[in-house]
Amino acid sequence: SLRILLCAKKIHKFHGLIKINRRFYAQSCDLSYIHNIGKDPLVYRTIGQQLSRAANEFGDREAVVCLEESTRYTYGVLKSEADRLAAGFQCLGLEKGDRVGIWAPNVAMWPIVMFAAARAGLILVALNPAYEAPEMEYCIQKVGVKALVASESFRQKDYYDKLLEIIPELNASDPGRINSKKLPQLTTIIINSERHFPGTFRLNDVGSLPTPSQISAIEDQQKYISPDSGCNIQFTSGTTGRPKAAFMKHFGFVNNGIHIANRNGVYEGRVCVQTPFFHAFGTVITIMACTSHRATMVIPSILYNPEKSLCAIKDEKCTVIYGTPTMYVDLVNMQRKMKLDICPKIAVTGGALCSPQLFLDMKNELRLKKVNSLFGMTENSAVSFNSLPSDTKEQVLETVGHVQDHIEVKVIDDQGNLVPFGTPGELCVRGYFTMLGYWGDEEKTRETLGTDGWLRTGDQFILQSDGYGKVVGRLKEMIIRGGENIFPKEIENFLATCPEIAEVYVVGVPDERLGEEMCAFVRLRAGCESFTAQEVRDFCKGKIAHFKIPRYIEMIEEFPKTLSGKIQKFKLQQQFTEKCSKK
């Protein structure tokens, strides 16, 4: 039987459901299950159709402003550029279902490539711009990327040189006819540059390939693309140490974007975009949310820069700020120095909860009216919990928000049984927004996504009877460093390849600015005792992304383990804390 919730001023029975603040819930007894049936209906629409709607209804509104590139696009221009590139992709021989990778930081072309791929029926593969050559090789091979769109460089790193490391045949190849031994499915590389690189196309040249009739035909093709079909692959590491490729669908991206925008004051706003586009925070929470609600994406800088972010908030009159707690620490500190006249309305934060002090600093220094939190994971198209417009300070500080519209959530014990409200257990979610599965990995898909549609998040979680949630811990050993998800096993496996290291374990340790940092505990091989922590870091450089290199490296002679030989990582964390307290 359904239980009436007694936590709102107005409670109404409605066809056996419960209505609270215009939202309807189905709930079972006192156990941790809630179905937020939602206020507004879902829309059966693709990413491409969502862009068509934006261009038709508010085509003159600014869509993208990239200050560092001095670029401004309206939604009408965004659609025109996307269709030109979509037709160009087809001229290169790309067909519906082919994978197109994008390897770039936050630049104006990112949304264009995303929409172009969607409108051509292609699957966009979002790649971290910080990846090194071995990581790129694995990801391209894993999902069979056929074409890759890349920036010219990132953080003084020349992308073409990195590509030559994994595709030595590239500089002797004709554009569009790469014949790589390591990556046989990759035929085409497109560089966003004015320069010509051997074996590649320039991005602008690809957009010049189609005829006007081929470009206009893109709009008619939209009705043949299903909202239930896959549109995007995002890599999310697992405890095995190898990145998993989460395969997402149009329907989830479009609707999660709409309902995120509904809760975060995005309508006709100007959003300061600090979070990366390759992440779900960028693709769904930013691009899809803004496109559905007449909002402008303001990109302050290609690489995150708090000073440029503050200037953009002031000069572009941004009403909404997106960022992780780490970014807000930087913004607060920078604003104390710059003292700019800014008045944004809302700050949206994800990746971790804000501390009470940071919450106060954000409101006082950035002159915010509201701070919203959101919570989710790549595998569920970004967001499952999000603050409501009416949330109190305590609700924002103590919870990750309220269950999103149109989804089911439950919390279970080790046996798969529902636990009572307020009891920790594993969070599971089900609804329109879950992934199709992990590309090329049926076993991992079965472990995470059940045949009944429930997705196991791996998060230890408390669900309250009023629909709000709290993260207690992580069943997985994921470390969240400044909003970046890092899995210790991946780093451990990599460090184990160092000839001087006999055994290594990585743990998360507290960090005031980033939330968490990595500490690697290393046991050296006999005869290698002179090997230093700096030499460990030097071994990492150029082989793994910079944010995966442990900040702290502790040499240890013996690891704390159970009688069965299982590592006791909590004791390593205690050792680190005790050492720091003595300094």
The percent of the chain in helix, strand and coil, each rounded to the nearest 5, is 35, 30, 40
Tokens of 53: 């709607």
Question: Is residue 512 situated within a structural domain?
Answer: yes
The 10s digit of each residue's pLDDT in 411-445 is 999 899 999 999 989 999 999 999 999 999 999 99
548 shares a domain with 431: no
Residues 291 and 382 in one domain: yes
CATH number of the domain bearing residue 505: 3.30.300.30
Q: Are residues 268 and 392 in the same domain?
A: yes
Within-domain flag for 171: yes
Q: How many structural domains is the chain composed of? A: 3
pLDDT reported for residue 45:
98
pLDDT tens by residue, 28-63: 679 999 999 998 999 999 999 999 999 999 999 999
Same structural domain, 452 and 523: no
**465 and 321 assigned to the same domain:** yes
Residue 409 lies in a domain: yes
Show which of 225, 256, 291 is a domain's final residue. 225
Could you read off the pLDDT of 238-275 as tens digits, one per residue? 434 578 999 999 999 999 999 999 999 999 999 999 99
Last residue in a domain, options 443, 474, 505: 474
- Choose one of 225, 260, 280: the last residue of a domain: 225
pLDDT at 355 over 80: no
pLDDT at 503 over 90: no
Whether the CB-CB separation of 440 and 243 falls below 8 Å is answered with no
Question: Residue 523 corresponds to which tokens in the numbers above?
Answer: 């046991």
Q: Is residue 30 part of a domain?
A: no
Please report the pLDDT score of residue 241 as a whole number.
Answer: 57
What confidence score (pLDDT) does residue 87 get?
99
User: Where does residue 477 fall: left (phi above 0), alpha (psi -120 to 50 degrees), or beta otherwise?
Assistant: alpha
> What is the model's pLDDT at position 25?
59
* Whether residues 295 and 404 fall in one domain: yes
Give the residue with greater pLDDT, 359 vs 75: 75
pLDDT at 2 over 50: no
20 in a domain, yes or no? no
Where residue 209 sits, what CATH number does that domain have? 3.40.50.980
Residue 318 CB contacts under 8 Å (≥ 6 apart), including other chains: 269, 270, 271, 272, 298, 312, 344
Residues 196 and 278 in one domain: no
d(CA 470, CA 444): 26
Q: What is the mean pLDDT of residues 495-521?
A: 91
- Is residue 234 assigned to a domain? no
Percent of the chain predicted with pLDDT > 70: 92
Please state the rounded mean pLDDT for residues 483-505.
86
- Separation of alpha carbons 139 and 124, rounded Å: 13
My answer on whether 366 and 485 are in the same domain is: no
Q: Read off the CATH number of the domain in which 262 is found.
A: 3.40.50.12780
Same-domain check for residues 365 and 411: yes
- What type of residue is 224? Y
Residue, of 525 and 27, whose pLDDT is higher: 525
Q: Please give the Cα distance from 345 to 362 (Å, whole number).
A: 11
In a domain, 33, yes or no: no
Band (219; pLDDT cuts 50, 70, 90): very high
Identify whether 454 is part of a domain.
yes
Same domain? 207 vs 139? yes
Q: Are residues 490 and 463 in the same domain?
A: no
Domain span holding position 530: 479-582
- Assess whether 338 and 455 both reside in one domain: yes
Q: Average pLDDT of 209-226?
A: 98
